[in-house]
Amino acid sequence: MSELRAVLPHPDAAACRDAVDRYARAAKDAGDPRPIGMLRAGAMGDLLLRPWQQRPSVTAHLTVVAPLTALTPAGFLAAGSPVPAAFAGSEPPATAPDAPAPVVEVDGEPITAAHLRELLAQLDAAGVRAPAGGSLELAVTDATGTLLALTTPGEAARLARRGCTAHPDTAARPDAAAHPDTPDAPGRACGCPVLGVPGPVDRYRPSAAQQRFLTARDRTCRHPGCTAPAARADLDHVIPHAHGGETSCDNLCCLCRRHHRLKTFAPGWTHTTSDDGVLTVITPTGVTRISRPPGYRVLTGPPAPPPEPDEDPPPF
């Protein structure tokens, strides 16, 4: 056996990996008994050696993870970088008395239009784009990797331009109305949130926004020990909708079809969830298992340098 590696730009590498994985899982769904790793290797070989063969098309999907703490003045100062103009030169803005409560906060910091403007500027500077024919999503997390919000570049740009709609007449400086394109323009410099967890809907079927958010939050089936991809799972009401359960992100989680049926029809199982998405499962024999959203681990700092040619890795 041999190993093949390629050094690619991050977006291209992620898109290639996602496309190969989708081809492999399509073969698995069609009944191929081989392990998924072998199917991925076979799919990559077919794409390289037999590109002329007809095969179902797949759409590559990329998710860019952005910790909110890296989009605030404290985050830039901690990294030794200058504070972006969107945050500089103004006192902490006051919110209107009747403004709605923040949808999501990190240490009291809501996701504001200024955060989104800085995120878009960083993506543009890095040249991050959706893969050809594919899609790109932006996942905003807290410092621990917990998903706070999910958006697309188009939606983020629209929210960054529009700013807060709760009090559009609020301005951070007296001449802001004369300079609508500046970060301190009315409705764009306030501290109100413009992005967060999708709200509940008054029906059984979850909204498209809830579907995207929960798929990104859970990433796999939430039954303890199951690794089935969330993209191919069902959205389950932890408290059944027929028993008064809300169609909200607090009451929904991803379950593969097998474990969805087990929860719905098998007697003796108990499922409860918390506001932060922690799922508690009690088996018919009384064993308790906890399933937490996996979160997104963001690597910080430069990678470790490779060892010198005359150095051997442990155990030497």
> How far is residue 296's CA from residue 308's CA, in Å, rounded to a whole number?
32
68's CB contacts (< 8 A; 6+ apart) are 106, 109, 111, 115, 140, 141, 142, 143, 148
pLDDT in tens, the chain (316 residues): 778 888 877 667 777 888 888 888 888 888 888 998 898 898 888 887 776 566 665 566 677 777 776 665 554 444 454 444 444 443 433 333 343 333 344 344 577 788 888 888 877 777 777 777 778 888 888 878 888 888 888 888 888 888 777 655 443 444 444 444 444 444 445 667 788 899 999 999 999 999 999 999 999 999 999 988 898 899 999 999 999 999 999 999 999 999 999 999 999 999 999 988 999 999 999 999 999 999 886 555 455 555 554 444 555 4
Q: Based on C-alpha coordinates, what's the Rg of the chain?
A: 23
Report the candidate in 232, 251, 235 with the shortest Cα–Cα distance to residue 243. Answer: 251
Q: Residue 149: how many CB atoms within 10 A of its CB?
A: 24
244's CB contacts (< 8 A; 6+ apart) are none
CB 291 within 8 A of CB 255: no
- The predicted pLDDT at position 247 comes to 97
Its pTM surpasses 0.75: no
